[in-house]
Amino acid sequence: MERIVVAVDGSSASQEALNHAINLARQNHAALTGVFIIDGGWPDYIGNDWQSSQGARQGFLDHIQEEQEQQAQTARQQFEKAVNGMPSVKFSLEAGDPIDTIVKIACEKSTDLLVLSRRVFQISGRPSLKLLGEKLAKKATRPFLLFP
Amino acid sequence: MESGFFRKLPSAIPGLALIIITLVIIRGYPGMDIAGFKGIEPWMAKTKVFGMQKPLTDAFHLNYILLGILAGLLYRNVIFGGKIPAIFSDGFKLSRLMIKTGIILLGSLYTVQAIVQLGSFAIFLIGGFVLLSIVMVLWLGKVFGIDRSMTGVLANALSICGVSAAVATSPAVEAKAAHVAYAIATILGFGILTMFISPFIGHSLGLTDLQYGAWIGTGILNSGQVLAAALAFNPKVEPGSAVSVAEIWNIMRVISIPFAVFIVTVWYWTGKEAQESKSTRKGLGTLLVEKFPVFVIGFAAMVLLTSLGAFGDVGIKGGPAASDTIIKLRLWMTWIFGFGLVGLGGYIDFKEISQAGGAPLKLGLIVGITKYVLALIVVLMIRDYLVAI
């Protein structure tokens, strides 16, 4: 294994996955990448909202963006604290649909192992993120390790 | 976050084309005859099944509105596997604009006098239901131990008009993204159910357009679903039809968004540190400017133009027949709404909705069903006081 990717969201659920990913990376002398995904699906998710004023709509999207940026910062701090002193580590901030992005990572040749909690990103996400494990099982082409 | 309308227009063409083709297949158009096929709706109106004449329209009350929503649902959840593909996505997004445009044009069904007659009664009923729902949600939120922010979002989402109210309230009560998502999934799930069963209930109880419009305008949570349920009951767009009554009720409810946001914001910040509250909370004036749904102004302008006779006679019962301009306008509205509601169906993601649950769902169902049933009872009780237009 040369590269392990771990999904991090700053929650206790992702801490367990992160700890395992760190152990595996140390044992295999592999590079470790932490990933947080800013959910870009909100404008579509409130798609039925055709009656809000522009101010209300934009105010809402700015509010969600701000929360997600704070969550990304918490995730970065969680990752950096856990990997302190480790060589070959990187934190990557992605944007897009969290499930699509995770599935894409789980299909990349450069991903030797994806480690994540089944509940990752639910802390600030949409209900469909509960289906993350199911989607990964169906679509991932690279090995992955799923924690509760 | 979102690019402008004109920049999006070219990329919207494939989605627009798909929706228009879908609608043409469903409705047909005068003179359409493709190898004997004249459209699904005309076909249903003539089809005999097991000796029954047109059971699909008479027994199931299927019309182009419900078929359009079902087509949208089918595209997203079955044909496209849960997500509208990028190539069609911008076209489906435009459906929101079409519905809003259609509502503005609906202003041509009313005169100022009719609005005052119907609206003054509607505002009384709507105001009562909005306040009752807010109080009920705030109380049940405490009983179920639901987070205060989420209770605030649910209070307005279940009291006023679903997604719009959730969107308007969230920043004011510091709601987390997950709270909003679960509130939206709850109200959309309940709304979809009511959108499909209301026409059956309305026909079974023999409700008039006036009673039905008043009922769903009060009892259904989401504005798009009120429109769909009204047109599914009676697809006619004319004064006194279900949609003309339901939309006045609905507009009265939508207008109350800034006031309801204010009430819930005051409730939310009660008990917070005074200094924090003062720096974060917005006044009613600011909320009115920020949250007032601008399309209502377009609707009001249309009512004014109609009252001044800009489009000729509107065809009120007992008066002169509707002018050619008004007739054409109403025909266009049916297409615009049909278009918008295919798009609305395309936004309903069953997987997303099915993941909602827990206490918010329980609370949503209790309040939603109470409001829906109580609105029906009230409308049946006050049938003699409802004012026809």
Q: Are strands A113-117 and A3-7 parallel, antiparallel or unpaired?
A: parallel
| Per-residue pLDDT at B387 | 62
Please tell me which residue, B337 or B97, carries the higher pLDDT value: B337
Q: Are strands A113-117 and A144-147 parallel, antiparallel or unpaired?
A: parallel
- Measured between beta carbons, the chain A residues lying within 8 angstroms of B171 are 59-60, 62-63
| Per-residue pLDDT at B5 | 60
- Measured between beta carbons, the chain A residues lying within 8 angstroms of B299 are none
Are B290 and A55 a contacting pair at CB < 8 A? yes
Please state the rounded mean pLDDT for residues B234-242. Answer: 88
Establish if B173 touches chain A: CB-CB under 8 angstroms: no
Q: Searching chain B, which residue's CA lies closest to the CA of residue A100?
A: B83
Q: Say how many C-beta atoms besides its own lie within 10 A of residue A111's C-beta.
A: 21
Tell me, rounded to whole angstroms, the distance of Cα B131 from its chain centroid.
20
- Yes or no: say if A137 and A105 are a contact pair by the CB < 8 Å rule: no
Task: Work out the percent of chain B whose per-residue pLDDT is above 70.
Answer: 88
Residue B382's contacts (CB-CB under 8 Å, 6 or more residues apart) are none
- The ipTM is 0.73
| Per-residue pLDDT at A4 | 96
Rounded distance between C-alpha atoms, residue B138 and residue B261, angstroms: 13
| Per-residue pLDDT at A89 | 93
Establish if B224 touches chain A: CB-CB under 8 angstroms: yes
Question: What length does chain B have?
Answer: 389
| Tens digits of residue pLDDT in A6-39 | 999 998 889 999 999 999 999 999 999 999 999 8
Rounded distance between C-alpha atoms, residue A33 and residue B82, angstroms: 29
CA distance A23 to chain B (A): 31
Owner of token pair 């329209």: B57
Residue B335 sits at the vertex; the CA angle it makes with B333 and B336, to the nearest 5 degrees, is 60
Q: From start to end of chain B, where are the E strands?
A: 48-49, 52-53
| Per-residue pLDDT at A75 | 95
Of B113-122, B196-205, B324-333, which gets the smallest average pLDDT? B113-122
| Per-residue pLDDT at A53 | 59
CA distances from B71 to A113, B21, B32, B67, B146 (A): 40, 11, 20, 6, 36
Are A127 and B168 a contacting pair at CB < 8 A? no
Rounded distance between C-alpha atoms, residue B95 and residue B92, angstroms: 5
- Measured between beta carbons, the chain A residues lying within 8 angstroms of B93 are 44, 47
Establish if B227 touches chain A: CB-CB under 8 angstroms: no
Measured between CB atoms, which of B92, B167, B222 is closest to A56?
B167
Please state the rounded mean pLDDT for residues B49-72. Answer: 78
Q: Which band of pLDDT confidence, cut at 50, 70 and 90, is reported for residue B2?
A: very low
Best B75, B89, B163 residue to mutate vs chain A (most A CBs within 10 Å) = B163
Best A36, A48, A58 residue to mutate vs chain B (most B CBs within 10 Å) = A48
- Measured between beta carbons, the chain B residues lying within 8 angstroms of A121 are none
Q: In degrees to the nearest 10, what's the CA dihedral of B78, B80, B82, B87?
A: -150
CA distance B206 to chain A (A): 30
Are B351 and A131 a contacting pair at CB < 8 A? yes
Q: Which band of pLDDT confidence, cut at 50, 70 and 90, is reported for residue B367?
A: very high
Concatenate the DSSP letters of all residues of B114-144 into one string.
HHHHHHHHHHHHHHHHHHHHHHHHHHHHHHH
CA distance A91 to chain B (A): 23
Question: What length does chain A have?
Answer: 148
- Number of separate domains in chain A: 1
Please tell me which residue, A26 or B248, carries the higher pLDDT value: A26
Establish if A9 touches chain B: CB-CB under 8 angstroms: no
Concatenate the DSSP letters of all residues of B230-277 into one string.
HHHH----STTSHHHHHHHHHHHHHHTHHHHHHHHHHHHHTTS-HHHH
Q: Searching chain B, which residue's CA lies closest to the CA of residue A121?
A: B178
For chain B, what are the domain ranges? Answer: 5-101, 109-337+350-385
pLDDT at B92 over 60: yes
Are B178 and A48 a contacting pair at CB < 8 A? no
- List b or e across B301-316, with b for residues whose CB sees 16 or more CB atoms inside 10 angstroms: ebbeebbeeebbebbb
Please tell me which residue, B254 or B267, carries the higher pLDDT value: B267
CA distance B21 to chain A (A): 22
Please tell me which residue, B204 or B10, carries the higher pLDDT value: B204
- Yes or no: say if A33 and A6 are a contact pair by the CB < 8 Å rule: yes
Residue A48 sits at the vertex; the CA angle it makes with B256 and B77, to the nearest 5 degrees, is 150
CATH of the domain at A125: 3.40.50.620
In which domain, by residue range, is A49 found? Answer: 3-147
